[in-house]
């Protein structure tokens, strides 16, 4: 028996995939990780189950992330991952091919757009649309982007940070840099290795970032016990990391994000810049949850900064809302029809 076709919005992120289904809201939020058999190429696990295998697999099994810096790095695995998530979101039954809208970074090539579209079609989409992440994030954050006034969004995901000024439903000035949550983790790994001569894994670095990571001086110093492998003895070792050390580790990638925000503001037309001074900057994406990031940006830009409600879900919620008013969005060129990509 065939189920009714449902419109589906997908935030195809570097770190995680969120799926929105019309009339149901967000139905899936899982890591964009796939575990495959190195010898046969068979997919063994996807999402949460695959992430638990990261750094813990035997030689013939590898856990990979097919999305890098917001774009597809492994087409075949991305297609299989999408097919799995679409099927899971729809309840695993036989479904009619749905219309799918996928968000993409603001600065991607036509080839990269086509790769996303092709993967969606192969995964089961009847028709596919694209929407830029900052626009989807702004809609999901509740901003009225259709008015002739400036809205500035900084969307910090896993692989990219998108900064955009939006007015009349479209991007006026934007930039996309490959510095985001993953780079925060890498910076922590490098710092620990340099300071303590100890190697920690990605999962441990992410835990440090979430629990004691900070972009601004904390009122109270936080301490976390961490385990890694000593480069000197080669043996497992337990040690303590302070929040001040996490702040020092994150200074370099945060500096690049601040520079990206500054460069967009420099190119913003004066009238829209005046709007942003009044309305402020809105932070979305998982990176917005880094402690003190709003305070740091506010201090550096001298502009009010607010964190959106549920910043992790803003992009997929915006994608879902765009799906619900697809004809209006198409007329305003806010969304990109797959058939228009050459």
List, for residues 117-131, the tens digit of each pLDDT value.
888 888 888 888 899
| 167 plus 273 within the same structural domain | yes
Asked if residue 73 and residue 188 are part of one domain, the reply reads no
pLDDT at 63: 82
| 273 shares its domain with 238 | no
Q: Among 60-69, 180-189, 224-233, whose mean pLDDT is lowest?
A: 60-69
Q: Determine, yes or no, domain membership for 100.
A: yes
Is 121 within a domain?
yes
> Cβ distance 318 to 308 under 8 Å?
no
DSSP string, 261-328: HHHHHHTS-HHHHHHHHHH-EEEESGGGGSBTHHHHHHHHH-S-EEEPSSGGGHHHHHHHHHHHTHHH
Q: Say if residue 186 is in the same domain as residue 104.
A: no
168 and 277 within one domain: yes
Collapsing DSSP states into helix, strand and coil, what is residue 161?
strand
> Structural domain tally of the chain?
3
Within this chain, do residues 97 and 14 fall inside the same structural domain, yes or no? Answer: yes
User: So what's the pLDDT on residue 192?
Assistant: 96
Provide the β-strand partners of residue 43: 36
The reply to whether 55 and 89 lie within a common domain is yes
Structural domain harbouring 190: 181-249
One domain, residues 32 and 151: no
**Looking at residue 210, what is its pLDDT?**
95
For residues 118 and 30, membership in a common domain is answered with yes
The two three-digit tokens of residue 82, written as one number: 């999408």
């Amino acid at each position: 028996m065939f189920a009714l076709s449902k419109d589906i919005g997908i935030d195809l992120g570097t770190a995680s995939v969120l799926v929105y289904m019309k009339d149901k809201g967000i139905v899936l939020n899982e890591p964009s990780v796939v575990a495959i058999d190195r010898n046969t190429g068979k997919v063994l696990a996807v999402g949460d189950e695959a992430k638990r295998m990261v750094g813990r697999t035997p030689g013939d099994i590898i856990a990979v992330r097919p999305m890098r810096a917001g774009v597809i790095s492994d087409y075949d695995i991305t297609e299989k991952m999408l097919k799995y998530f679409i099927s899971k979101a729809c309840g695993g039954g036989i479904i009619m091919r749905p219309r799918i809208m996928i968000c993409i970074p603001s600065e991607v090539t036509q080839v990269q757009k086509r790769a996303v579209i092709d993967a969606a079609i192969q995964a089961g989409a009847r028709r596919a649309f694209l929407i830029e992440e900052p626009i989807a994030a702004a809609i999901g954050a509740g901003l009225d982007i259709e008015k002739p006034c400036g809205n500035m969004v900084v969307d910090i995901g896993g692989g990219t940070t998108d900064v955009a000024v939006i007015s009349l439903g479209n991007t006026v000035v934007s930039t996309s840099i490959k510095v985001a949550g993953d780079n925060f983790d890498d910076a922590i790994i490098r710092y620990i290795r340099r300071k303590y001569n100890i190697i920690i894994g990605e999962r441990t670095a992410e835990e440090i970032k979430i629990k004691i990571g900070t972009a601004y001086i904390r009122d109270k110093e936080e301490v976390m016990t961490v385990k890694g492998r000593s480069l000197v003895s080669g043996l497992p070792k337990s040690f303590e990391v302070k929040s001040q050390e996490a702040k020092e580790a994150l200074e370099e990638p945060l500096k690049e994000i601040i520079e990206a925000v500054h460069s967009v503001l420099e190119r913003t037309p004066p009238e829209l810049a005046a709007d942003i001074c009044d309305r402020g900057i809105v932070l979305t994406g998982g990176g917005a949850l880094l402690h003190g990031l709003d305070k740091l940006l506010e201090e550096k830009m001298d502009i009010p900064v607010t964190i959106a409600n549920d910043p992790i879900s803003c992009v997929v919620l915006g994608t879902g809302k765009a799906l619900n008013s697809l004809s209006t969005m198409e007329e305003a060129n806010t969304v990109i029809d797959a058939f228009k990509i050459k």
